[in-house]
Copies of this chain bind each other. A is one copy, B any other.
Amino acid sequence: MPIVVQKYGGSSLADAASIKRVARRITEAKKAGNDVCVAVSAMGDSTDELLDLANEVSPQPPPREMDMLLTAGERISMSLVAMAIADLGYTVRSFTGSQAGVITDSTHGKARIIDVTPGRVTDALEKGHIVIVAGFQGVSQDTKEITTLGRGGTDTTAVALAAALGADVCEIYTDVDGVFTADPRIVPAARKINRISNEEMLELAASGSKVLHLRSVEYARRFAIPIHVRSSFSAKEGTIVTDAPVPTTTAGDTVEAPIIAGVAHDRSEAKITVVGVPDHPGKAAEIFQTCADAEINIDMIVQNVSATDTGLTDISFTCPKTDGQTGVHALKKVQESVGFGSIQYDDQIGKLSLVGAGMRSHPGVSATFFKALADTGVNIEMISTSEIRISVVTRADLLDDAVRAVHTAFGLDSADGEAVVYGGSGR
């Protein structure tokens, strides 16, 4: 029997009525002849409510206890979904992450899945039960402590279960119709993407697109699990994330993939500039080792050319705002030993990223990109590129204008719909 893994996020599970709606949707997949395993997030805003409670009790709760607390959220939603399914006449079993065999490392709050040993899930599926698994959580391999995977972790739970169960597809149900060429709240003309490669989806997710959790895409790519991102509020086809060959049309033509997949933005990062770093080999390594020891996730890094007369240079990098103060604090401790002058902290930045596998073979993308930004009067503070992505840091308050300008410049607006062809050379 084909196995389908589904995932429902908190916005699809806001109250009893939503839970019953999701239950009907789940039973439809079962009725259609599939074995069905479902990963669920906590209901609506319940994770935020638990966080608020924690903050009322303690300004800096121990991460282990925070994970104990937060995992209650999925426990509640999974059992309620199971009850609603039972009420429709199906047999069902709910399992916590630990019971479902989601084994992680020991990093509380942002644990990584090491392995999935889904014995109890498989047994239940073989007995014909629908299985509901608490997303976002697991149990650490060494210490048997309860861990959480970080915000959005339920996507990764779903994909990891799909891989471990040998599922045909992992359906990620959300409150939007799929992955868009840009955030429709900022770019009303954004279009739904029907099909996107893992590589492009990875870059979009890493660049601030919140539809899929970054690690879920990495996991899906590694195990070649197709992800179908779709709305839990409609029956429409959503976005398929897969590296499988593009299917041919009924006329026998292959569909040409567009050059640009989409424009992502991210307002969650801050910029730290280490000013007056001695321009010797090894100094940058000392700085980033300090950040690594403090478990700061570094994103973009820029080092300016050393001013020849001072022997000093400035190093800027971006990291999640939530890690910002930790980073500043950790760096101040090594100020004397590294020998830099000062630290600047700036959390009023925005990041814009243009993503598309077609960039590789189409020169002129960066010229169009920078011209669009220049025409909109957006000043660029940092630039970083990958083979299929260009990212820039701007002032936060100009970010929305920048996203719209770039989206239009690359012909992504739904009104015209045609991809732009470039004649220039290089980026």
Contacts and interface: CB of A to CB of B under 8 A. Distances in A.
Interface string A105-126: 0000000000000000000000
A267 interface: no
Contacts of A142: none
A71 B72 CA distance: 8
A86 B58 contact: yes
Chain A interface size, under 10 / 10 to 19 / 20 to 34 / 35 or more? 35 or more
How many copies of the chain does the oligomer comprise? 2
Interface string A66-77: 101101110110
B68 A78 contact: yes
Q: Please report whether the interface of chain A is mostly helix, strand, loop or mixed according to DSSP.
A: helix
A79 B75 contact: no
B83 A62 contact: yes
A19 B72 contact: no
A87 B58 contact: yes
A270 B330 CA distance: 67
A285 interface: no
A94 B65 contact: yes
B53 A82 contact: no
Of A53, A68, A93, A96, most buried by chain B (CB within 10 Å of CB) is: A68
Contacts of A102: none
A62 B82 contact: yes
Given A64-B93, A94-B68, A57 B75 contact: no
A61 interface: yes
A71 B59 CA distance: 26
A380 interface: no
Contacts of A416: none
Contact of A57 (B64, B69, B84): B84
B94 A80 contact: no
A173 to B, nearest CB: 18
Contacts of A66: 79, 83
A94 B65 CA distance: 7
A62 B130 CA distance: 14
A49 to B, nearest CB: 10
B72 A75 contact: yes
Nearest to A120: B144
Given A16-B56, A65-B86, 18 more contacts: A20-B57, A53-B76, A53-B80, A58-B84, A58-B86, A59-B87, A60-B87, A64-B93, A65-B83, A65-B92, A65-B94, A66-B79, A68-B94, A69-B75, A69-B79, A72-B72, A72-B76, A75-B75
12 contacts: A16-B53, A54-B80, A58-B83, A59-B87, A61-B83, A61-B86, A65-B83, A65-B86, A69-B75, A69-B80, A72-B72, A72-B79
